[in-house]
Amino acid sequence: MARVSVGARIHFGFLNLSLARDRLYGGLGVALDEPRVVVSAEPAAEVRCRHPVATEYVQRAADLLDIDGVDVVIERSLPRHTGLGSGTQLALAVLRAVAEATNTDADVRKLAPEMGRGGRSGVGVATFESGGAVIDAGHPTARFTTDRPDDGEWTVPPVVARHSVPDDWRFLLVTPDVDPGRNGAAEEASMRTVVERADPTTSDRIAGIVTRRLLPALAEGSAERFGDAVESLGRLNGTWYADEQGGVYRPPVGAIVSSLDESPAVFGAGQSSWGPSVYGVTDAEHADEAVAAGQAALDDADVAGSVSLCRGRNHGARVE
């Protein structure tokens, strides 16, 4: 039997969503140690999986690897459509577990498009492979226009920068109990609209933040400056999405972010992907204060939810 485990990821935003620039998308994100996906697999006479979401991934993996039988169990999974990369981490963990259990070679990056992953951001694939804080190069705009190609008709964008997350950094996760983030056909329609209307000057401002603030903060290990940079980047991304999600942040994320910004223990906050999960950047010294600020933010927004504190993850998926 093989068991694969991997943590969630935060998605801070994109480098560019305008068709006026040479490359489209380009994701920025960081790997987390928790919450986790854990998938086990063992050879079997037929393809079996009882998980309602993973069953499709198991069958795809078996078809891609030309395997007649495998029994897959999802021991732990991420909450779906909350902005933490549940789909990509589950799909790739299934692929890797099926391959390991059957002693089959599988290039996860190469096969990710066939599993329907990496069609826009490459952050999920990159963090599955090696963890850390990553930036991908995006897709050539000439090929990746408003409509995403069919599954398998793209390559996962290459990683252009990766830094290990300092040991003393912590990431606050505040997830309100509200409707899931955009996904499926609704997400496709929203992204098409956003790309068609995106202001190209926003991507130029984001490039300045990445080169002059975010990357230096990572190189210097400054959680304060990193938090400030990703919050600025997230707000600019939000201007692209404002018409689709009801503001720079989807409600009630804006209220939660505003509350977190009042705490000196939180160095920067924002919405991960389509939300509703909110991230906050802090460090070990300020961890307890940051958690208290997360609880207070939910109270201020008058919404129930969960608060957790996570470390960064500087390695890829673990295989047992």
Q: How many whole angstroms from its chain centre is CA 141?
A: 22
Strands 133-136 and 278-283: unpaired
Q: What is the pLDDT of residue 187?
A: 80
Positive or negative CA dihedral for 82, 99, 310, 126?
Answer: negative
Q: What is the pLDDT of residue 148?
A: 61
* Domains in the chain with CATH codes: 2-319 (3.30.230.120)
Q: What is the pLDDT of residue 146?
A: 56
What is the rounded CA–CA span in Å between residue 75 and residue 239? 38
Mean pLDDT by runs of 10 across the 320 residues of the chain is 98 96 96 98 98 96 97 97 96 98 97 94 98 96 68 87 98 95 78 92 98 98 98 97 92 97 98 96 98 98 98 97
Q: How many whole angstroms from its chain centre is CA 148?
A: 18
SS3 letters across the chain: CEEEEEEEEEEEEEEECCCCCCEEEEEEEEEEEEEEEEEEEEECCCEEECCCCHHHHHHHHHHHHCCCCEEEEEEECCCCCCCCCHHHHHHHHHHHHHHHHCCCCCCHHHHHHHHCCCCCCCHHHHHHHHCCEEEECCEECCCCCCCCCCCCCCCCCCEEEEECCCCCEEEEEEEECCCCCCCHHHHHHHHHHHHHHCCHHHHHHHHHHHHHHHHHHHHHCCHHHHHHHHHHHHHHHHHHHHHHHCCCCCCCHHHHHHHHHCCCCCCEEEECCCCCCEEEEEEHHHHHHHHHHHHHHHHHCCCCEEEEEECECCCCCEEC
